[in-house]
Amino acid sequence: MYVMPAINMVATGKNIARLREAAGLSVKDLQEVFGFTTPQAIYKWQHGTAMPTIDNLVVLAAVLDVSIDEIIVTDFKNVRISA
C-alpha cells in the first residue's frame, strides 16, 4: 500500500478564489493578466473543473504573491500497486 498525493481540484479552485479576493483582484483583473479573451478559464479554475497549466500556475502565484504550494490543495489516498 502506498500513500499517493492527488490534487483536490474543487478545494484548489476555492483556494484560488479566496486568494484572488484577498489580493483585491477581480476575475476581470486576472483575465487581463493572462491575456484571455474571456474569463471562462478563470471561472473553471475557481469551480474546480479545470486546473491552470504549470506556466499559468507560476504566474498566478506571482500575481497573488504566494507560493504554488499555497494555491494547490493536496489530498492523500492509499493506493495498492500490484507487481
pLDDT of residue 80: 77
| pLDDT surpasses 90 at 4 | no
**Structural domain total, the chain:** 1
Q: How many residues appear in the chain?
A: 83
The CATH number of residue 66's host domain is: 1.10.260.40
Domain span at 70: 2-79
* CA distance readout (Å), 39 to 12, 19, 21, 31, 75: 18, 17, 15, 6, 28
- Can you give the pLDDT at residue 82? 73
pLDDT in tens, 29-68: 999 999 999 999 999 999 999 999 999 999 999 999 999 9
- What are the angstrom distances between the C-alpha of 18 and each of 5, 11, 39, 77, 83? 23, 10, 17, 25, 42
